[in-house]
Structure 1
Amino acid sequence: MKEIIITSKINVFETIQELPLVEQNLMLKAIEVRKNAYAPYSKFRVGAAILLDNGEVVVGSNQENAAYPSGLCAERVAIFYAGAIYPEATILKIAITAASDNNKTATPVPPCGACRQSIAEYEIRQDTPIEIYYMGETGSIHQSASLKNLLPFMFEKKLL
């Protein structure tokens, strides 16, 4: 038997103010768009802001549906919008924030599995890493230099 050991490097910023200015502004945009989430069922609001290499910032918030799996996470709303409107642009960074209407969310909330797979598609397609910053409603911010830290065994088209 052979054993594979996987390690991930995640940087931790204790406050938004510790982030570099570009990342602070990106996270503040994610916090602002989180307020637009349509989350009447889960009461869990998520906002995402994406910085593109052309300087544009694209945002998204989660949008739920009574047919529960038909909704869409904030990260996928933003990344699909970026792909549709700016198909030639490279995604540089994504800031994600989550808050619950039921309790204070102080733990950093990373992208779900479906969102990780969607981000992976773009990271692989553009052949450059996408920096990911994520936080709860309050508290520390986690930063990953690439999706590969969050999804080390990516499923991609070369496996098909």
Structure 2
Amino acid sequence: MNTLNFNISYETYADIDELSETDQMLCNKAKAALASSHSPYSKFKVGTAILLGDGQVVLGSNQENVAYPSGLCAERVALFTIGANYPDAVIQSMAITAQTENFKIENPVTSCGACLQVMAEYEKRQNQPIDVLFYCIDGQIMKVKGIKSLLPFVFVEDRLGG
């Protein structure tokens, strides 16, 4: 038997003012995306902003449905919008934030496993890492360079593509 370990590297920032202008803009756009969230059941709004290589920003927000599995997370809404409308675009970075009236969010909210897998697929597709900012409004921000830091055992099966 072998026991192996891996480390995850990420940056933390005390507040949005510590970020670069580009990262601040992306976090603010993710916050603006909260307005289009359809979350009448959970009352938990999530917004995503994705910066493309050409400078364009694509937004996404969570979209719930009374049949819960039929809804979709903000990250996948934005990523699938890019896939459908900008199939050759290169994703530079993305910011994700959340908000609810039910309680105070005190730490950055991270993506679910399904979203991480989709993010990993886009990263593989473009053969370039995607920077991810998890933005807690009025709080800490976590920045990760590349999805493999978040999902080290990402599902990959190259033979499916051939």
With normalisation by structure 2, the TM-score equals 0.95
Q: Distance in 2 between matches of 1:111 and 1:88?
A: 24
8 Å contact kept, 1:104–1:137: no
Report deviation, 1:77. 0.4
Q: Secondary structure at the match of 2:102?
A: coil
Equivalent position of 1:51 in the other structure: 51
Could you list the per-position Cα deviations for residues 10-60 of structure 1 after superposition, in whole angstroms to 9, with x for gaps in the alignment?
100111111100010011000011121110111110000000001110000
Equivalent position of 1:130 in the other structure: 130
Q: Distance in 2 between matches of 1:63 and 1:86?
A: 21
What is the CA RMSD across the aligned residues, in angstroms?
Answer: 1.0
After superposition, residues 3-152 of structure 1 pair within 5 angstroms as 3-152=3-152
Report deviation, 1:159. 6.3
Gap regions ≥5 residues in structure 2: none
Q: Secondary structure at the match of 2:36?
A: coil
Could you list the per-position Cα deviations for residues 45-82 of structure 1 after superposition, in whole angstroms to 9, with x for gaps in the alignment?
00000000011100000000000010000000001101
Gap regions ≥5 residues in structure 1: none
Q: Distance in 2 between matches of 1:110 and 1:45?
A: 13
Matched residue type, 2:51: L
With normalisation by structure 1, the TM-score equals 0.97
Q: Secondary structure at the match of 1:95?
A: strand
Report deviation, 1:6. 1.3
8 Å contact kept, 1:105–1:138: no
Q: Distance in 2 between matches of 1:48 and 1:90?
A: 16
Q: Distance in 1 between matches of 2:115 and 2:138?
A: 22
Q: Secondary structure at the match of 1:35?
A: helix
Matched residue type, 2:59: V
Q: Is it true that 1:153 corresponds to 2:134 in the alignment?
A: no
Q: Distance in 1 between matches of 2:11 and 2:76?
A: 23
Q: Distance in 1 between matches of 2:84 and 2:4?
A: 38
